[in-house]
């Protein structure tokens, strides 16, 4: 039996490759950061070739460092930053322009226009999404309008569109595919019929010829070119980063939820095979589609997205310069007993769920002469927990179920001060697993299931282990006071940018 699954974890700020053994433990990892491009305020881009070259480099590096070759790898699982949009030439494999990143707000006006035309309900009904510039469809529309010659080439069938999973699979294998989880983030995919939707393509003026084939999240979708790793390796798992993390957290049953603290913050609640429409500005999204060989089973999620989580810590480091590395923030925040009245609303690129205000802007309020950088650091950490509490409240209303625990992962989940505050403000236990790299682990599990490296979701669930449980200890009156203060601050930040 082959020994490992190779997880390709393509994130917003870095590309990583992680090897997992049969016990679901990390055997090796390699990581490489790449450039962030900010051409105008509110615009965020990546060079798609930087993503490809860095991802290939770390995949080769982790194999070389552990003296492995293609025959040691049972399958590759791919997980990715989701809504980031790439347009490339099918023949040359070269991008026509920089990728437009999920954080980019340049298409907010188009979303406003579609809402004014009364199209928001149609998009929500078919895709489960709100009309927001966060998603890929309006970004692709922008590229077709603004890249010289793109529209004509697209009409001739010469171009391909994809989210990052699709781009990487094309470069790895020549196949043009995506999975249901990534397709469900485009504003172009009907999550009920599980097909690209002609009416939505028409509204966004997007030719169908651009679109990838949609495949299961767990199932052999392609084989890598021989030359890349010395022999072909099946690509057998594909999922957007947050769906992959939910799978890696073993939230396989309806009613289980996880929160990932990455660049952004993403809370997902499994609603089983039923797609629940949100009345509280959350997203209904495909979690994953499993191909058992006999049938396809699709699980759905309710999702709330926070645009700024770990990115706030990066800003404290790079923008304000009050810490020199991200792991210093916990000690700085813990050096004061509380936030000293300071509240930080990190709406640097608008507010995500449940507000969906592309025109909100960041704000630090409540400062006095006694306020210090430690108070700002503490308020920054607390803002991550407050935003997550808003999501959970909306989810419980939509799904009609009370959460009994929240499983957490991502870089900031290692911050004990933040996790304790999260438990306090949510009033539910927050549980951190032993393996916090659950995004990559989920991609590995999806790939491993497809090639019988693991036999079932039950076997996978049995591997999940708790590292630490944070139990709520804040008084109810204090919790309510803090949430009220937070909501007052959010209100002041909204509709700031005209």
Binding positions: 12-14, 16, 82-83, 134, 241-242, 263, 310, 314, 411, 415
Binding residue numbers for glycerol: 82-83, 134, 241-242
Chain-centre distance of CA 57, in angstroms? 22
Distance in angstroms (rounded) separating the CA atoms of residues 188 and 122? 11
Binding-site residue ranges for ATP: 12-14, 263, 310, 314, 411
Residue pointed to by tokens 């009156």? 477
Neighbouring CB atoms inside 10 A of 260's CB total 29
Q: Nearest CA to 442 among 9, 102, 57, 28?
A: 9
Helix 108-116 to helix 136-146 angle, to the nearest 10 degrees? 110
* Beta pairing class for 343-345 and 363-365: antiparallel
Would you tell me the crossing angle of helices 476-493 and 373-399 to the nearest 10 degrees?
100
Alpha-carbon span 130 to 113, nearest angstrom: 14
Cα–Cα dist 416/436, whole Å: 13
- The whole-angstrom separation of Cα 302 and Cα 108 is 23
Which of 361, 385, 348, 132 has its CA nearest to residue 265? 385
């Amino acid at each position: 039996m082959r020994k490992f699954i190779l997880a390709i974890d393509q994130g917003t700020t870095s590309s990583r490759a992680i090897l997992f053994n049969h016990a679901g433990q990390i055997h090796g990892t390699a990581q490489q950061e790449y450039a962030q491009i900010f051409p105008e305020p509110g615009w965020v881009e990546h060079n798609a070739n930087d993503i490809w070259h860095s991802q290939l480099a770390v995949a080769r590096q982790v194999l070389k460092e552990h003296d492995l070759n293609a025959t040691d790898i049972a399958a590759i699982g791919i997980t990715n930053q989701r809504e980031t949009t790439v347009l490339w030439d099918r023949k040359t494999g070269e991008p026509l322009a920089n990728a437009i990143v999920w954080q980019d707000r340049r298409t907010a006006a188009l979303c406003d226009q579609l809402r004014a035309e009364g199209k928001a309900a149609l998009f929500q009904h078919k895709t489960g999404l709100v009309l927001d510039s966060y998603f890929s469809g309006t970004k692709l529309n922008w590229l077709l309008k603004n890249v010289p010659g793109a529209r004509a080439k697209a009409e001739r069938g010469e171009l391909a569109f994809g989210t990052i999973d699709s781009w990487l699979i094309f470069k790895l294998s020549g196949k043009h595919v995506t999975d249901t989880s990534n397709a469900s983030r485009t504003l172009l995919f009907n999550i009920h019929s599980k097909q690209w939707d002609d009416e939505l393509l028409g509204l966004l003026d997007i030719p169908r010829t651009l679109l990838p084939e949609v495949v299961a999240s767990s199932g052999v979708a392609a084989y890598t070119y021989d030359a890349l790793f010395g022999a072909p390796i099946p690509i057998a798992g594909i999922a957007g980063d947050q769906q992959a993390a939910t799978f890696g957290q073993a939230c396989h049953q309806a009613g289980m939820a996880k929160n990932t603290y990455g660049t952004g913050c993403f809370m997902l609640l499994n609603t089983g095979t039923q797609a629940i429409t949100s009345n509280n500005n959350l997203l209904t999204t495909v979690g994953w589609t499993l191909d058992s060989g006999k049938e396809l089973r699709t699980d759905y999620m309710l999702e709330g997205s926070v645009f700024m989580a770990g990115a706030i810590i990066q800003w404290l480091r790079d923008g304000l310069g009050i810490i020199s590395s991200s792991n210093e923030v916990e000690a700085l925040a813990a050096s004061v007993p509380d936030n000293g009245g300071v509240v930080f609303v990190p709406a640097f690129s608008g507010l995500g769920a449940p507000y969906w205000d592309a025109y909100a802007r960041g704000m630090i309020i409540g400062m006095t002469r006694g306020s210090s950088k430690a108070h700002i650091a503490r308020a920054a950490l607390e803002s991550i927990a407050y935003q997550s509490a808003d999501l959970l409240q909306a989810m419980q209303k939509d799904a009609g179920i009370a959460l009994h625990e929240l499983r957490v992962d991502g870089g900031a989940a290692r911050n004990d001060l933040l996790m304790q505050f999260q438990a306090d403000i949510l009033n539910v236990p927050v549980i951190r697993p032993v393996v916090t790299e659950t995004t990559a682990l989920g991609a590995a599990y999806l790939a491993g299931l497809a090639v019988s490296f693991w036999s079932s979701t039950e076997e996978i669930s049995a591997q999940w282990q708790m590292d630490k449980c944070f139990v709520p200890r804040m008084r109810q009156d204090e919790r309510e006071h803090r949430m009220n203060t937070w909501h007052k601050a959010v209100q002041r930040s909204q509709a700031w940018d005209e």
